[in-house]
Amino acid sequence: MPCDIAAMSEDDRKARSREVAERLGENLRRARRRVGLSQEQVAIRASLHRTEIGLLERGGRVARIDTLIQLAGAMSVPPSELIDGIAWTPGDVQGGSFEFKATPQPSLPRRRPG
């Protein structure tokens, strides 16, 4: 859903930033699980602290572009996979807006008993 950043209050801007952080976190968790790595393994491979991975996955922070590239490289996925479903729509005079597209939820592989 579009949202006009220029006409938003500070609280609304923070809420939209949280939405971006949450979507990024969902994408990071999905990619990490798909490639079969733990948070600690991703952290080591990306040269980040292990707690940073959890913070990002929970939507507690938005990754900088260099961190995004490190994470993608650590998991051997394209950086675009981590921002999938997050789009910016430019505005004319009033500014642009974020849009969030629905992301399909892939099923995780089932574990075989014992």
* Bridge partner list, 98: 88
Determine the 3-state secondary structure of 45 from DSSP: helix
Q: Does the structural domain 9-79 have CATH classification 1.10.260.40? A: yes
Which of 36, 78, 31, 35 shows the shortest CA–CA distance to 56? 31
Instruction: Quote the CA–CA distance of 15 and 17 in Å, as a whole number.
Output: 5
For residue range 57-110, list pLDDT tens digits in order.
999 999 999 999 999 999 999 999 999 999 888 876 666 777 777 766 665 555
Domain spans, the chain: 9-79
What digits encode the pLDDT tens for the residues 32-46? 999 999 999 999 999
Whose tokens are 């260099």? That residue is 66
| Number of neighbours of residue 95 by Cβ within 10 angstroms | 12
Residue 5 is given by DSSP the state G
How much is the pTM? 0.74
Query: Which of helix, strand or coil describes residue 86?
Result: strand
